Chain A
């Protein structure tokens, strides 16, 4: 592809200095998202998926900090910008959707005021123009009677409707990238499906790139074009959704897929991955997954695998390493 990716992350490393030494919560993470593409970031709690998102928008809570790597938004480097320089980018060029719509809206302001304020902060519009635009957006995200509802407070909306408002808010300045962190986790299944469809449609129409962070493979299967599976702060596997879901290369991804009860399967015993994700203070030597991996061999315990190409994906696993890559012994 010659096209500049909307978002390009190279060797991102996020560190937390602690009394017991420095912990790398995100380590050597690289990926690109093309305009209009949805990249899913999936992983279990503690995998570093949300921190990756927070690092990109520059909202890491100290003492957490970006310790290495590059983040580029349409070619422009944004990881080394000052707080002041970052502020107009956040909201204008990167929109955000978080898990709990109630905490992303200010309960004391009408939703209209919040959308209009955001529009006017980022775009040169008068109050009236901005209001018209806000109503348009609310209609577009499927809020019935938007002319009336624009003057309601967040508590007057149901959970699903609130998340629609948050989507409108994220889209109001026509961002190049949307970072959606567990956008449907707090919602019921029937509402979740609606929000997923909406997010997908809006971003396709506008060519907005989406980084969709979730623990739910189902949401990824429905929405994403490509998916990155994270484990203990690193990408274990990244590739086209269908390939990762149906014929995963990394044992962790395979275990994860087998662990999900499905509505089609046989109803037999679920595959289970023994143990749990290691704590950051005790990441195993070699491949971080090796103590839980059914296929681990000597090399996995000493040497950490980098992402290696296999089919249309990249997987960080010695099992997929071409034979020629075997180091001379």
Chain B
């Protein structure tokens, strides 16, 4: 591949200052505290591809999503979308044009729709904001089309969000995200607040829309099965770092990083195949004071001294698309 990928995330880091207020620090003689939410995350997404980030709470996946769409400035690193740097001052004008092409879908469809606005106004807002249409009849027409696209009725535009169920509200959120005709959608846990039968509807809808509109997705989730269903490639995050990134099939058939293996083993065996599984041990450490070296070392069955000192780098394994950050894998121990 010679063309640069559609979305490129390079060495992205984000540090939050979680110190107490200055006066308290002086009185209690405490040092400043920093939370390294995301450290040195790099990945790329090709056009029309779905890449997923999966991880447990505190792994930094949502922080990555926010930095990618431009809601949160990174401490270090860059996000480049279609050749435009999301965070450099030089690209400010181009970025304005890029904004329209990026949209986000959030987890909670109850919190992300203004209860005082009619659905029609909610969906029309991006159209108006980006000046995509000014004629009232034209806007109404577009809103109607969008509602139909996500499986709702054009007449629903006159209703308020509270008149809809959770799944329908998520459809409205998707319609709103699509109203500016974006090419790249970032979905942060879009189905976690929904029941399974409704989740299936939304996941199917997102895949249909991708095929029909040629969308590119960054999909954030804690649910491995959902991610497997949606993504072509998956990055597994642990305490702010990507520990393994791999094509979906490979990750599920041959996970390499001990954490990825553990996560897969923790997924309930719904088919009741009785596949052999190892018991998960330990807990996620406090991200404010993560263990030195590899952050997973206190829970890792293959831990050696080196893991407690040195942070492992993400390195490709047998195939170029499959990278793992683990000393044990690099040394060929597991």
Contacts and interface: CB of A to CB of B under 8 A. Distances in A.
A261 B222 CA distance: 13
Interface stretch (B63-71, B75-83, B225-233): B225-233
Contacts of A277: 195
Nearest to B229: A261
A158 B283 CA distance: 8
Interface stretch (B9-17, B129-137, B142-150, B197-205): B197-205
Contact of A188 (B56, B252, B268, B271): B56
A242 B56 contact: no
Interface in B246-293: 248, 252, 262-273, 279-281, 283-284
Interface in A299-317: none
Given A189-B56, A269-B204, A276-B165, A259 B269 contact: no
Given A221-B269, A222-B268, A272 B197 contact: yes
A261 B226 contact: yes
A245 B280 contact: no
A198 B279 CA distance: 11
Nearest to A196: B268
A258 B265 CA distance: 21
Interface in A241-289: 241-242, 245-246, 255-256, 258-264, 267, 269-274, 276-277
Nearest to A274: B201
Nearest to A43: B195
Contacts of A196: 268
Contacts of A194: 279-281
Interface residues of A, number: 43
Contact of A189 (B201, B248, B266, B283): B266
A274 B204 CA distance: 12
A256 B197 contact: yes
A83 to B, nearest CB: 34
Interface in B147-169: 165-168
Given A189-B263, A218-B270, A246-B272, A267 B197 contact: no
Given A44-B195, A269-B204, 5 more contacts: A188-B284, A189-B223, A190-B263, A221-B268, A274-B201
13 contacts: A44-B195, A45-B166, A188-B56, A190-B56, A190-B284, A215-B195, A218-B269, A222-B269, A261-B225, A271-B200, A272-B197, A272-B204, A274-B201
Interface of A: 44-45, 158, 160-161, 188-194, 196-197, 215-219, 221-222, 241-242, 245-246, 255-256, 258-264, 267, 269-274, 276-277
